Amino acid sequence: MSKNIIIERTSIQWKSPVPGTPTRRVPDHYYGRTIHALVDGGENVYRLKPDEIPLEATEEDMISVIEQRLIEEEQNQEEQQE
């Protein structure tokens, strides 16, 4: 499955681990990432948690995670059809 994936934009979510304290842009407050990508010409939005993609992720890392997500979605669709 070779998909044409282009990252359009990405944003990082921050959340304080301690309720009631201010949120800051520090690694301890990293809460995930939203990626807007064109996959075979169609725009898709991916919301990823810190355990799915690290704060230091490169564009190649993001594309790899999206490819993995597409494979999982395809497998789920095949299982539902059976």
**Residue the block writes with tokens 């075979």:** 40
8 A C-beta contact, residue 26 and residue 7: no
Digit-coded pLDDT (tens) for 44-58: 999 999 999 999 999
Tokens read off for 69: 């997500």
pLDDT at 2: 62
Digit-coded pLDDT (tens) for 58-72: 999 999 999 999 999
8 A C-beta contact, residue 32 and residue 64: no
pLDDT at 3: 80
The CA–CA distances, whole Å, from 73 to 5, 40, 49, 76 equal 16, 15, 17, 5
Q: Are strands 42-48 and 30-39 parallel, antiparallel or unpaired?
A: antiparallel
Is the pLDDT score of 1 beyond 60?
no
The predicted model scores a pTM of: 0.84
Digit-coded pLDDT (tens) for 28-45: 999 999 999 999 989 999
